[in-house]
Structure formats: structure tokens, C-alpha cells
Homo-oligomer: A and B are copies of this chain.
Amino acid sequence: MTSTVSRAVAGYPNRFDPAVLGELPESLRETIRRRDAVLGPGYTLIYREPVEFVAGHGAHLIDRDGYDYLDAYNNVPCVGHAHPHVAEAVARQVATVNTNTRYVEESLVAYAERLLATFPEGLSRLSLACSGSEANDLAVRVAKFHTGGTGIIVTRWAYHGITGEVASFSPTLGAGSPLGPNVRVVDPPDPRLAAPGVSLAEHMRAQVRAAIDDLERHGFRLAALITDSAYSSDGIFTDPVGYFPGMVEEVRAAGGVHIADEVQAGFARLGETMWGFERHGVLPDIVTLGKPMGNGMPISGVVFRPEVSAEFGRSVRYFNTFGGSSIPVAAGAAVLDVFEEENVRQRVLENGTALRKGLEEITRGSAHVAEVRGSGLYVGVEIGGDGEPDRARAEDVINDLRDRRVLISGTGQAANVLKIRPPLAFTAADVTRFLETFAEVAKVRL
């Protein structure tokens, strides 16, 4: 790994290293060889010893030998792997009909009404697409159209997706995927990055102001500030809140819009609120939704303030073949059912708090743990003493947990932050199992 470009790929947290393929069990080795012979570019497996699952339920995944893994990583199956209510809704729809938005679909209208009712007043128009990438791509397309600008501000190691456009403002993809000339980065809201005596709010506002100035100096008018409400790939920064209004004021003063990327933070992931931005006392102009929206069915969305999207709608056609078609909509509606029936948000709040407290207790006093942070069922444990990120130790912890059948992974620019982000189906018993296993690993590694 000598070139910058290769480092970009190697930087992926907890990536399986193909060089050790020969050390894996025979059947796994053979499947991976076949996989490498047919898959296209850029695919990576995770863990030193990759895993394969053949079944799942709740926050549990079952491998070929019948072993039960505790899933503390996957956010897509938010109401639980193979949740029966969602499975039934999808099975029913796929056996009935699947039409698209060229036709009148009562189920689409009802779903849109119901989903929009979870948003604060003013965010009242929904477009559906297939992936978070498509959602962010459309959001930025509309933002550029509405503002007449092209400048984009994101956080320093943000990830917003993989279309050509969205990759151009996803700095975490690394040197192999260059940022656009119209893109500027600001620090994530990590209070430790503000100079002594400077509040986080002042620090964030000043950075946004400087980014706008630099864009304008290069001839780019601002289109949008895009923020992941959990700052997932930056390293997970959910608190403190309070810094946001100043940033957005600067953005609006420059004629830009604020896009809240809720692909990671939305759908009650952070426990206190349905949408991450609600914790910050701001009303975004555009909100993007994805991963957990259909519990695994490909569906994503963009929610607009109508005054931002109206002119685009009058001037540009947008037909997304699968976006808004009957099967993904059935899955999305079933997820909302489960949110109501199982009181998911309350469960996230309770079990998330227990999880974070347990992790704080286990790691208290460890010279290798810089911080435990997060909200709801999104927890980051930053590994590294004396301000030095310790990626190797983080990956030891991740893989020791995997060997004990508990799944997490890593994040952050230095790949040294444990990313603990279970399905929202995580129960109190799952918290207990997680903490007991984590404590065993911590004894050796932390």
C-alpha cells in the first residue's frame, strides 16, 4: 500500500484483508474466491474473518452452523431482522401488484400523508427514491435549482452516498474519489476542535462563514450545507446540541439551503426524537431519508419545504421507476405500523441509555478510551490514549467481539471509533449480552 490512492481504500474501517484469504476455513475461502471472480469494482468485506448469515430475527443473525450472533451494527433492519409484520406486508404486496407513480396509488398517498405527519410543520412534500444516495442526489439537484448556486458545504469526513454527484461531496471516500471544486469542508461538531475559549457554536458558525467566503472567492455561490444529523463517518457526534442555529443563519444569509441527511440518524435512531435535526432546534429546508425506511426493502425519500421544491417541480420531470412503487411503499408503511405498535422510540431511548451507561462504566479509567458518546442506539467509543487515535486497538476490539459473536464495526477519519448501531429491535436482554461480552474483551484490550 504505497500510493495515496491505495490508502484511500485501505482506510475503510475494519476491512477484510484479502492477503490473509489463505488462512480462512476452506468453505469460506472458496466462496470468497468465487465472489472475487464475479463481483465488480470496489466491494469490500468486513472483519478479519468474514461472516455469512442465513437467517435472522430481532437483533440476531444466525450463521450456517446455527450460531446466534448479536447484531449491534446493522441499522437497515431497524424493527428487527425479518420482522414478521413487514415480511407479511411485503409478501402480500408482491403477490398482488406493483405499480408506479405514473398511476394513481392510494397506498402511496396514504403512506406519504402518514410519513409527513411525523415531520414538523413546513416540511410537507415527499419524493421517493431507492437509496440514500439517490435521495441526497435529488436533494442537491433541487437545492442547486432553487438557489442558483452550486457550492456545497459538508463536514470534514462526511459520507452522503455514491452517485457521481454525491461522491463529490463525500470526503470520507478518500483520495481515490476527489471532491468537487465547488465543495468545502468544515469540522464536525466535536467540542475538542474549538480553540480554547471559543464555544462550539462560535467555532461552527465561523467555519461555515469561512467556507462560504472561500466558495464565493472562487466564484461559487452557495447551494447547500448538508449535515448528517449523527455525523456517522466523522466519528459519531450527537452532543452537545445548540450550535446549529448559527450555522444555518450563515447559510441562509448566503442564499443557501440546509439539507439534513437523516439516512443514518432518522427513524428514531437517536431515541429522543423521530428525526435527528429535531434535537437541534432547526427546521431544515430539505430532509433525506434512507436505510431503515423499509427495513431492508430498497426505499428512500426526500422531504421538502414546498417553497424550495415548487419551481423544480414546474420545470423538471422526475420519474423514479421503483421509487414510490407499491412494494417498497408497503414495506415503508409496515415499518411505521411497527413503530406505533411496539413504541419503538421509547425502547430506543431506554435501551440506548442503558447501553451507553454500561459502556461508560466498563471503560471508565481505561487509558485507551478517549470518549464514549452518542444518543439512543447510536454509540461511538473512541479508542486511543493521549489524543492519539489507535486504529489497531479498535480493530482488535471489533474482531474480538466478532469472535465472541457480537457484531459492531468502526468509523471516524482514523477508523478508531467503535461504531455501535444495532437494529432498533435491540432489547434489554440484548443490552445485557452486549455489555457482558464487551466487558470480557475490554479486560484484555482496553
Residues in chain A within 8 A of chain B (CB atoms):
5-6, 8-9, 12, 28, 31-32, 34-35, 37-46, 50-56, 61-62, 74, 76-77, 81-82, 84, 86-87, 90-91, 94-106, 108-109, 112-113, 116, 124-127, 129-134, 137-138, 140-142, 144, 162-165, 167, 173-174, 176-177, 290-291, 296-299, 302-304, 309-310, 312-323, 325, 327-328
User: Are B98 and A81 within 8 A (Cβ)?
Assistant: yes
Asked whether, in the complex, the Cβ of B131 is within 8 Å of the Cβ of A130, the reply is yes
Contacts of A313 in B (CB 8 A): 40-43
Which of B52, B81, B144, B299 sits near A104, CB closer than 8 Å? Answer: B52
Chain B contacts for A104, CB-based, 8 A = 28, 31-32, 35, 45, 50-52
Given known A45-B102, A90-B90, A296-B94, contact A314–B5 (CB-CB < 8 A): yes
- What distance in Å separates the Cβ of A256 from its nearest Cβ neighbour in chain B? 17
- Given A41-B316, A91-B94, A94-B87: A141 and B127 interface contact (C-beta under 8 Å): no
Chain A binding site: helix, strand, loop or mixed by DSSP? Answer: mixed
Residues of B within 8 A of A62 (CB): 97
With a cutoff of 8 Å between Cβ atoms, the chain B residues found around residue A141 in the complex are 164, 167
User: A91: which B residues are within 8 A, CB to CB?
Assistant: 87, 90-91, 94-95
* Cα–Cα, bound, A309→B99 (Å): 35
On whether the beta carbons of A41 and B310 are closer than 8 Å, the reply is yes
Contact of A42 among B28, B52, B299, B317 (CB under 8 A): B317
Nearest CB to that of A313 among chain B residues? B41
Taking CB atoms, residues of chain B closer than 8 Å to A137 are 163-164
Q: Contact between B95 and A41 (Cβ–Cβ < 8 Å)?
A: no
- Give min CB distance, A418 to chain B, whole Å: 16
Cβ contact within 8 Å between B116 and A316: no
Cβ-closest chain B residue relative to A9: B317
Contact partners of A35 in chain B: CB under 8 A: 104, 108-109, 112
CB neighbours (8 Å) of A165 from chain B are: 163-165
Say whether A173 contacts B316, CB under 8 Å. Answer: yes
Are the C-beta atoms of B130 and A134 separated by less than 8 Å?
Answer: yes
* Distance in angstroms between the alpha carbons of A335 and B6 in the assembled complex: 38
23 sample A-B contacts, Cβ–Cβ < 8 Å, listed by A number: A8-B317, A34-B113, A39-B101, A39-B112, A40-B303, A40-B318, A41-B318, A42-B313, A45-B104, A46-B103, A51-B104, A55-B97, A61-B99, A81-B98, A82-B94, A87-B94, A94-B296, A133-B163, A134-B162, A137-B163, A138-B162, A163-B165, A165-B165
Q: Evaluate contact between B297 and A113: CB separation under 8 angstroms.
A: no
From B41, B84, B309, A304 is in contact (CB under 8 Å) with B41
